[in-house]
Amino acid sequence: MATHFVFLTGAGMSAESGVPTFRDGLTGLWGRFDAETLATPQAFRRDPALVWGWYRWRAWQLLQVQPNAGHRGIAELARRGHRVDVVTQNVDDLHERAGSTEVRHLHGELLRSRCIDCSARAEPDPITLALDPPEGGAHETPPACTVCGGAFRPDVVWFGEALPEAEWEAGLGAIAACDRVVVVGTSGMVQPAASLPLVAREMGKPVLEINPQRSGVTPLVDEHWAMPASTGLQRLLD
């Protein structure tokens, strides 16, 4: 019998692919920078080269890694005939690369960029141009828009910025229509995304959490499997 799943995923979903989560800090060169300071419009205005360089380095890192068994397990459920909606806080493309097709990015996408003034895009996207890992910091001036001369910025949602309306509404619609919600790999700290499991509960949906640790979401879920995403998805598939 087919089930309609909604997966609400966070940085822990990509941890086993080698993408650092936020709470354990970003490894290497940028470990000393706090994501919540850099991922803001103020930081980009103050030092566009620092922020653009940080995102280019993260984009380069993402292009070196692969989806993990957790991403593949979610895509496998759809292949088995279940309806699967993914509503993710993650800005990586690992769900898509694993084969998931219904993916909503509440916080934008790391591998896309746009003009900060007129939102024009460029092909190939300048954020994905091959980049050697930056030595001593990638302070790299962002490219200028060929339409209006504005600076290019990453197409992600920074702290203090509103989430894309269409993605948010689609996420709510998926939760309202689904049979069960599975929350994977989020600390439940960032609003309003962290409120979605509560919305699901208020809509009477069974909520399962897959996370090796307890999180801000744990108190309101029906079941918590204290295990990594790959193991949890394998258990769902069995």
Residues acting as catalytic residues: 107
C-alpha to C-alpha distance for 75 and 149, rounded to whole angstroms: 41
Specify whether the CB–CB gap between 194 and 163 falls below 8 A: no
Neighbour-count burial for 80-107, b at 16+ CB within 10 Å, e otherwise: eebbbbbbbbbbbbbbbbbebeebbbbb
Q: CB of 227: closest distance to ligand BV8 in angstroms?
A: 8
Closer CB to ligand BV8, 59 or 145, in the complex:
59
Closer CB to ligand BV8, 150 or 212, in the complex:
212
Q: CB of 149: closest distance to Zn ion in angstroms?
A: 7
- x/- contact string, 107-146, with Zn ion (CB under 5 A)? --------x-xx-x------------------------x-
Binding status of residue 148 toward Zn ion by CB under 5 A: yes
C-alpha to C-alpha distance for 76 and 93, rounded to whole angstroms: 17
- Ramachandran bin of 41, using left for φ above 0, alpha for ψ from -120 to 50, beta for the remaining angles: alpha
Continuous segment of H or E residues that includes residue 86: strand 83-88
Q: Shortest CA distance to 172 belongs to which of 97, 85, 95?
A: 85
Provide the 10 A C-beta neighbour count for residue 1: 5
Closer CB to ligand BV8, 105 or 205, in the complex:
105
Interface positions, 159-178, toward ligand BV8 (CB under 6 A): 159-162
Q: How far apart are the first and last CA of the chain?
A: 14
Interface positions, 79-98, toward ligand BV8 (CB under 6 A): 89, 91
Binding status of residue 106 toward Zn ion by CB under 5 A: no
Closer CB to ligand BV8, 35 or 178, in the complex:
35
C-alpha to C-alpha distance for 126 and 54, rounded to whole angstroms: 14
Annotated binding site: 55, 58, 89-92, 115, 118, 145, 148, 185-187, 211-213, 229
Using CB under 5 A as the criterion, which residues of the chain lie in contact with Zn ion when the complex forms?
Answer: 115, 117-118, 120, 145, 147-148, 150
Contact residues toward ligand BV8 (CB under 6 A) are 10-12, 15-16, 21-23, 35-36, 39, 89, 91, 107, 156-162, 184-187, 189-191, 193, 210-213, 215, 228-229
